C-alpha cells in the first residue's frame, strides 16, 4: 500500500434516480424509485428521499410501493444513463490513464499515475475539482473517497455520501477500521458475515484480533488470508485500466409464468438473437453458450455448452441454446430466461457453422427479424412507459407519468424549465410521440458555436 492518499473512488449519488430528478423538475426533492415497475419488478436505484422510507436497490418493487406509496416509480432509461456515464468517465481519464470503471456510476482512479496528486493537499484539491467538473458537465453530484488503497478509498466514498469528499490520512487507517462492522470489508457478504458472527466476530477489530490462523480455519485459506490483511488495512490491489468483459448475456423476466414449451423455445431463440447482436456490436465472439432458467419456485438453473472455437453465428448460438433447453425441466412454468456467451474473443472460427443442427437451412427473413420482446396480441394503442420522454406539437417536451385504460398522463417540462403542467390524452393521440432525452445542463458551447455559424 502506498504512503499517499492518491487512490480515488468516485460513486455517483443515487445515479439513476438523480438523473431522473435532474431531467424532471417536478421530481426534485421527492421520492423517486427507478426499476421494473411491474408486479415482479426490482428496484434498481432509489433516491435519498425514498431511502428514508426504507426503499433500497434490489428490493422487490411491490415491497417498495408498500413502504413509499407516494413515490414516483419510473422505468430505467439506460441509453441516457450510459451517455452521462461516458461523460463522467471522460473526466476521470483526463486525470489519469489508470481508470478502473466498476459500473456506470462507479470507478477507481490512480491519481499518482497521471501526476494529478502526490500528497494529501494535491489529492484533496483534485477530488474537489473533479466534483465541481462533474456538476458542471452533467448537473449531477458524485461522492469522492481518497486513500492509499482501493479498499479504503471505497470506504471513504461511502462515508462521503451524499455529495461529499472524504480523505483518509495515512496512519489513521487501523483506528478508522477497527470499530466498523465486518460487512464493511470487500468480500464479506451476508453468509460470511453470519458465519463470523456465530464465531463471535462482528467488528474489524475483532477480526484482526482473531488472528490469521483462526480466520483461515473459519473461512478457508484464500478468504482467510485476504480478510486478515484487510482487517490490518493492507490492500495492495492495483487500479486496472482495462476490465475485459467476461461474458455477454441478455435475459427477460416475465410478468406471468410461461408454461407452454413451444413459447419457451421461442423466447430462448429471441434471447439468443439479442445476445448475438450485443456480441457483434462489441466486435466479440465466444466459445461457451450459457442458458439460465428461473422456475416458478424461484429455483435457478444454468446449463452450458462449450464449442470448439469462438463464434458469433446466430444459427450456432440458437441451436446450442435450444439443445441446452432440452435438458431443463420447465414443468410448472418459468419466470425468467437468459442466454449468454462467455469465453470471449475478438475473432470467429468460420467452420463452427457445422456444429448447428440446421446447418443447411437458410436463414429466413423471419429468423433475422428484430426482436420485439415476448409475443403478445397487437396493442390497440401505443404502450407508454412511466418516465418515458415524449413530445407534443402544441405542448412541447414532456414525460409520461402514467398510462392505462386507454389514457396517458404527461407532465410537460424540461430539465431547464420550472415544474410543468400535467395533461391527459387518449393513448392513441396522433400528436403524442416518443422523444429523445434532453441534455441535463445548458450547452453553452453549442450555443456559441451556433452563433458563430450564423454569423452573429
Residues 6+ apart with CB under 8 A from 406: 380, 381, 426, 427, 428
Contact 93, 99 (CB under 8 A): yes
Closest Cα partner for 336 from 296, 297, 294? 294
What is d(CA 330, CA 261) in angstroms, rounded to the nearest whole number? 8
Is 106 noted as a catalytic residue in this protein? yes
Rg (CA), the chain: 25
Contact 155, 168 (CB under 8 A): yes
What is d(CA 280, CA 312) in angstroms, rounded to the nearest whole number? 7
What is d(CA 375, CA 372) in angstroms, rounded to the nearest whole number? 8
Candidates 49, 106, 112, 319; catalytic one: 106
All three cell numbers of 169, joined, read 490520512
DSSP string, 40-72: T-BEEEE-HHHHTTT--TTSBHHHHHHH-TTSE
Beta bridge partners of 145: 9, 166
Tell me how crowded residue 166 is: count the other CB atoms within 10 A of its CB. Answer: 20
Helix (H) or strand (E) holding 240: none
| Per-position b or e across 224-247, b if 16+ CB within 10 A of its CB | bebbbbbbebebeeebebeeeeee
Helix axes 120-138, 78-95, angle to 10 degrees: 150
Tell me how crowded residue 360 is: count the other CB atoms within 10 A of its CB. Answer: 7
3-class state of residue 109 by DSSP? strand
All three cell numbers of 276, joined, read 448475438
All three cell numbers of 82, joined, read 450510459
Q: Sheet of 389-392: strands edge to edge?
A: 421-426, 407-412, 396-404, 389-392, 433-434
What is d(CA 328, CA 325) in angstroms, rounded to the nearest whole number? 5
Query: Dihedral of the CA atoms 173, 178, 184, 189 (nearest 10)?
Result: 130
Euclidean distance between the first and the last CA atom of the chain, given in angstroms as a whole number:
56
- Residues with a known catalytic role: 106
Amino acid at each position: 500500500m502506498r504512503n499517499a492518499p492518491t487512490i480515488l473512488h468516485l460513486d455517483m449519488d443515487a445515479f439513476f434516480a438523480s438523473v431522473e430528478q435532474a431531467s424532471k423538475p417536478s421530481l426534485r426533492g421527492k421520492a423517486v424509485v427507478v426499476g421494473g415497475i411491474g408486479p415482479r419488478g426490482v428496484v434498481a436505484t432509489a433516491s435519498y428521499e425514498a431511502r428514508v422510507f426504507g426503499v433500497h436497490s434490489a428490493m422487490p418493487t411491490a415491497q417498495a410501493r408498500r413502504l413509499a406509496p407516494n413515490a414516483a416509480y419510473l422505468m430505467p432509461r439506460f441509453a441516457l444513463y450510459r451517455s452521462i456515464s461516458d461523460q463522467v468517465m471522460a473526466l476521470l481519464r483526463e486525470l489519469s490513464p489508470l481508470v478502473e470503471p466498476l459500473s456506470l456510476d462507479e470507478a477507481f482512479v490512480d491519481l499518482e499515475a497521471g501526476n494529478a496528486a502526490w500528497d494529501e493537499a494535491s489529492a484533496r484539491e483534485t477530488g474537489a475539482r473533479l466534483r465541481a467538473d462533474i456538476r458542471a458537465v452533467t448537473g449531477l453530484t458524485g461522492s469522492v473517497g481518497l486513500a492509499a488503497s482501493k479498499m479504503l478509498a471505497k470506504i471513504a466514498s461511502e462515508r462521503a455520501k451524499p455529495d461529499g469528499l472524504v480523505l483518509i490520512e495515512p496512519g489513521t487507517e487501523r483506528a478508522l477500521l477497527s470499530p466498523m462492522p465486518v460487512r464493511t470489508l470487500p468480500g464479506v457478504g451476508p453468509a460470511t458475515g453470519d458465519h463470523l458472527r456465530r464465531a463471535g466476530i462482528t467488528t474489524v477489530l475483532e477480526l484482526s484480533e482473531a488472528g490469521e490462523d483462526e480466520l483461515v480455519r473459519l473461512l478457508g485459506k484464500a478468504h482467510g488470508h485476504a480478510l486478515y490483511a484487510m482487517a490490518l488495512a493492507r490492500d495492495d490491489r492495483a487500479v486496472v485500466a482495462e476490465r475485459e468483459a467476461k461474458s455477454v448475456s441478455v435475459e427477460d423476466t416475465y410478468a406471468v409464468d410461461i408454461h407452454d414449451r413451444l413459447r419457451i423455445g421461442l423466447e430462448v431463440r429471441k434471447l439468443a438473437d439479442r445476445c448475438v447482436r450485443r456480441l457483434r456490436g462489441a466486435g466479440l465472439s465466444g466459445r461457451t453458450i450459457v442458458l439460465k432458467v428461473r422456475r416458478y419456485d424461484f429455483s435457478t438453473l444454468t446449463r452450458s455448452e462449450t464449442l470448439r472455437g469462438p463464434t458469433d453465428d446466430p444459427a450456432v448460438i440458437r441451436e446450442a441454446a435450444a439443445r441446452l433447453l432440452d435438458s431443463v425441466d420447465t414443468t410448472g412454468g418459468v419466470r425468467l430466461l437468459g442466454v449468454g456467451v462467455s469465453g470471449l474473443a475478438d475473432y470467429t472460427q468460420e467452420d463452427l457453422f457445422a456444429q448447428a443442427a440446421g446447418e443447411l437451412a437458410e436463414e429466413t427473413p423471419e429468423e433475422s427479424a428484430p426482436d420485439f420482446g415476448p409475443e403478445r396480441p397487437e396493442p390497440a394503442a401505443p404502450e407508454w412507459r412511466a418516465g418515458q420522454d415524449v413530445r407534443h406539437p402544441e405542448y412541447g417536451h414532456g414525460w409520461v407519468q402514467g398510462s392505462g385504460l386507454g389514457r396517458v398522463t404527461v407532465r410537460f417540462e424540461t430539465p431547464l424549465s420550472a415544474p410543468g403542467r400535467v395533461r391527459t390524452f387518449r393513448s392513441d393521440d396522433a400528436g403524442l410521440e416518443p422523444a429523445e432525452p434532453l441534455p441535463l445542463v445548458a450547452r453553452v458551447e453549442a450555443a456559441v458555436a451556433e452563433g458563430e455559424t450564423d454569423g452573429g
